């Protein structure tokens, strides 16, 4: 009989090696789970493919046509932290103006957008029951302002329902340029045909003509748009547009003064189609609009903290 273990030496060694291997595997799995819970590499929850250059049908004015619990306590986007936007400037441009309808002659005035001339502004669209796009954009922009300020950003508005009309599209671009905004976003809702559903983000095409020279901001604007589309999809649960962008939720245009004349990274978001009954039910729901504001905030935050 042996004075030590009853197992031969080679079996004792194999047991030790198996125990060490099990510990290494457990540690690796645990580390991976922590990495995933923190948002991985901080990238968008949903990758957006390359945008398709297309024109939104049936649009209005200067724009043309889930992952989180609803509302509740707003939390930072994955890979970010509260206060992460301290020192950043964000320009929010609520599309149109509730008073534009009373100033038809003023908003019809033509302005230079670089490669063309367009109306100063338009009235925007509305749902079938009369909920105006201008009211929607102000509400969502104000909600997003509150969330962005909570993250430490200085938020600049082009208008806050405090103007007789407008401002014109060239002035909207100038406001972001003058503020040296780190990111700029124009908030809209589309006015396309019923059955056309979903959101899309409009990216600037390169325009260097007349007073327009946005060449330097095309690439960062694309990055902003991709982050925004990913987080808007994750937070609201809304699908990307089914009528343009080939499922990416991204569109590229060269006919928008707000993008042509911008010298800071800027995109438009069409949060849904007001002329479609199913989209309209979301757009008129304050609960959903809060989610839209959170998606916007998270997209901007990820862009500004992961450039």
The answer for residues whose C-beta is within 8 angstroms of residue 215's C-beta and 6 or more apart is 206, 208
151, 171, 270, 298: the active-site residue? 270
Q: How does DSSP classify residue 182?
A: S
Contact, 196 vs 125, CB < 8 A? no
Which distant-in-sequence residues (6+ apart) come within 8 Å of 31 by Cβ? Answer: none
- Measured in residues, the chain has a length of 307
Q: Where are the beta strands (DSSP E) in 143-265?
A: 154-157, 183-190, 200-204, 208-209, 212-213, 250-253
Tokens 């839209």 appear where?
292
270: annotated active-site residue:
yes
CA 278/CA 270 separation, integer angstroms? 15
| Range 41-54 burial, b when 16+ CB lie within 10 A, else e | eeebbeebeebeeb
Alpha carbon separation from 185 to 1, 13, 204, 224 (Å, rounded): 82, 64, 12, 9
For residue 110, list its beta bridge partners. Answer: 119
Give catalytic residues, as residue numbers: 270
């Amino acid at each position: 009989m042996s004075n030590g273990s009853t197992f031969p030496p080679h079996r004792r060694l194999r047991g030790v090696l198996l125990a060490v291997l099990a510990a290494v595997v457990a540690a690796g799995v645990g580390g991976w789970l922590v990495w995933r819970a923190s948002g991985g590499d901080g990238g968008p929850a949903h990758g957006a493919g390359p945008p398709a250059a297309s024109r939104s049908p049936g649009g209005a004015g200067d724009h043309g046509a889930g992952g989180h619990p609803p509302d509740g306590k707003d939390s930072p986007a994955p890979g970010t932290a509260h206060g992460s936007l301290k020192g950043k400037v964000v320009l929010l441009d609520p599309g149109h103006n509730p008073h534009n309808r009373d100033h038809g002659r003023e908003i019809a005035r033509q302005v230079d957008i670089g490669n063309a001339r367009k109306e100063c502004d338009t009235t925007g669209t509305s749902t079938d029951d009369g909920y105006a796009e201008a009211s929607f954009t102000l509400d969502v922009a104000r909600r997003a302002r509150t969330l962005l300020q909570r993250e430490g950003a200085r938020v600049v508005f082009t208008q806050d329902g405090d103007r007789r009309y407008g401002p014109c599209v060239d002035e909207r671009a100038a406001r972001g340029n003058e503020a040296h905004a780190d990111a700029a976003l124009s908030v809209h809702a589309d006015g396309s045909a019923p059955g056309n559903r979903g959101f899309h983000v409009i990216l600037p095409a390169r325009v260097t003509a007349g007073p327009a020279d946005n060449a330097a901001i095309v690439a960062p604007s694309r990055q902003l748009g991709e982050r925004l589309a990913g987080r808007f999809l994750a937070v609201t649960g809304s699908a990307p547009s089914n009528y343009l962008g080939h499922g990416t939720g991204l569109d590229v245009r060269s006919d928008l003064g707000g993008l042509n004349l911008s010298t800071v990274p800027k995109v438009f978001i069409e949060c849904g189609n007001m002329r479609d009954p199913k989209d309209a039910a979301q757009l008129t729901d304050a609960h959903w609009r809060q989610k839209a504001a959170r998606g916007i905030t998270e997209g901007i935050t990820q862009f500004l903290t992961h450039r």
